[in-house]
Amino acid sequence: MRSGWCLGGALLLAAACAPSPARTKVTPPGSARASAVPHALVIDFRDGTPAEEVAERARRWGLPLRFNSVEGARSGIAIADGVDDVDAALARVRGDADVEEAEPLVQVEALAFTPNDPEFGKQWNLRMIHMPEAWDISHGKGVTVAVIDTGIAYEDRDDFVQVPDLAGARFVEGYDFVNDTTHPNDENGHGTHVAGTIAQRTNNGVGVAGVAFEARLMPLKVLDRSGIGNSADIADAIRWAVDHGAKVLNLSLGGPGYSGVMERAVAYARSKGAVVVCAAGNSGQGQVSYPAAYAGAVGVGAVGPDGQLAPYSSYGEALDIVAPGGNTRLGPGNGILQATIDRSDFRKPVLAEYQGTSMATPHVAGVAALLFAAGARSPDEVERALYAGATSDGAWTPRAGHGRLDALGALNALGKTAPGVDWTPLVWSAALLALLLLSLQTKVRPGFLNVLLNPATLLPLLLSTVGLWFLKLLWQRFIGHPPSAAEVLSLPLPDWERILFGRGRLASPVMYSALVPAVTALVAVKWRALRPVVAGLSLGFSAFLLYAAWAKAPGIAYLPFTFLARPWLVLNGLLAALVCRAMLRREARR
């Protein structure tokens, strides 16, 4: 019986690990002549047919046959050009025992969508990020992008006019936070220029093209005619955007002043599943502006057509990626060309070249929309694809972030950028466990393996340090795109609230504390079976929190001063370790 179970288990394991069968495809009806190269044919001889035999057939058939490439000696693929009557030649060739296939030589071309917008040729910026190739994969359809700026020239109303190249673009309800109206029209031109780069009407025979031209634009006006606004309006607009369905937020604005109100708004948007893309600033200095420097924001720097960081672009630790922003120092035609309105007369549509990190930011926002439309389900997935697909020399740098935006690279990276598992907290756990066990008296000290190999201890330890990281991978392998629950379970327990953890980001003091171990320990005082579980959970929390403090983890939200973050993590890490020790002692004395 046991051997039967073993055999059955082996068969099940083999079935689970076997590669899935290829999807069956049906060749649609068509003709090679639809794109045939004139007076040319291709013959696929039996693999390994010697060159002498090919030459003999060429003489017999009266065709100028030659191997197509150096691979021909193995593949047997030969071509003939300058053939007067291709049909007659094919009739002579077909039927030969050594010929596996004979047909007209077919011409193919790169499937790169080239719009018919007359000024597209001047948009070096879109070619730099490989938009023609990326458009073969995604147009951003169905994704709402909020443009939090000076408004958009999207309607003919009173003295306001719609930019002709935005006619037919998709708009959703917006709001004017400057004047408190439901008509966020543009009086400056900045917001319209930005919106055009994101989702300008494309392939309409008018003007220029946009990155995600099937996305929906949400105009939110927070800057007045002179381009000035305040943190309250911006924070309100950020929250309004995500509460009304925006998945991508573009903020081509910023300044040196920190605002906790605005930072919390960015964190709110991120917690709701939106990507917040912000301009790094135009100071030319090594300090990224706010809101780009906030937790959860994607900070965007600018490069010129030469691919170099533009002289005006800010850079620094909070820079995430760079994108085309223009450099007019190189002469005319080196800015970002877009349809907008005349700054001196907002009733006059124009095509204008602007430069700045404001112009770089909508490129990233547009590609983020392409990624959501292509199947990305979270800000994490979008950012990983953006960074993995970027053109770079490798490691992150303060002047280029993760590299230069590449739309095609990002789309190709989508689904292939699952983050590696950071085992460091688990290593910390092992070290802490050794210390805790050595601190116990010899007569009550349990064996190391008894603790580590107890499933009741090991499972909560994994949950609280590295998470069930394999769950998401298995779901993708055998079922498809994982649901939100699987994605959450793949995270360490303190990250289950989806509050990001890392450089410069905020964390919840409720989750990043000893509260969860302490509460479960109170229950375990009565329920003895829970003590191994609480021991593993507490050990994991302790290691996670102490590692976070050691790695200079972010400030904790709601604390009055950011310098209290590391003491908070250390204190709670030690408290969680004491809870683990208490559970180990009680379990050992049973």
Q: Which residues are catalytic?
A: 149, 190, 358
Q: Is 584 helix (H, G, I), strand (E, B) or coil?
A: helix
Cα-based torsion angle of the residue sequence 522, 524, 527, 529 in order, rounded to the nearest 10 degrees: 170
Give how far Cα 482 sits from Cα of 293, 368, 471, Å: 31, 20, 9
Give the β-pairing of 248-251 and 66-67.
unpaired
CB neighbours of residue 388 within 10 Å? 18
Backbone angles phi, psi at 250, to 5 degrees: -105, 120
User: First vs last Cα of the chain: how many Å apart?
Assistant: 37
Backbone angles phi, psi at 492, to 5 degrees: -60, 150
**Nearest-angstrom CA–CA distance, 323 and 318:** 15
Q: What per-residue string of b and e applies to 39-78 under the rule 16 or more CB within 10 Å gives b?
A: ebbbbbbeeebeeeebeebbeeeebebebeeeebeebbbb
**Nearest-angstrom CA–CA distance, 120 and 100:** 45
**Nearest-angstrom CA–CA distance, 511 and 514:** 8
**Nearest-angstrom CA–CA distance, 413 and 138:** 13
**Nearest-angstrom CA–CA distance, 266 and 379:** 12
**Nearest-angstrom CA–CA distance, 488 and 380:** 12
CB neighbours of residue 334 within 10 Å? 19
Cβ neighbours of residue 340 under 8 Å, at least 6 residues apart?
153, 163, 186, 189, 190, 192, 193, 196, 349, 350, 351, 352, 354
String of DSSP letters for 52-72: HHHHHHHHHHT---EESSTTH
Single-letter amino acid, residue 119? E
Single-letter amino acid, residue 576? A
**Nearest-angstrom CA–CA distance, 120 and 38:** 32
Give how far Cα 515 sits from Cα of 148, 321, 534, 571, 576, Å: 39, 37, 12, 12, 8
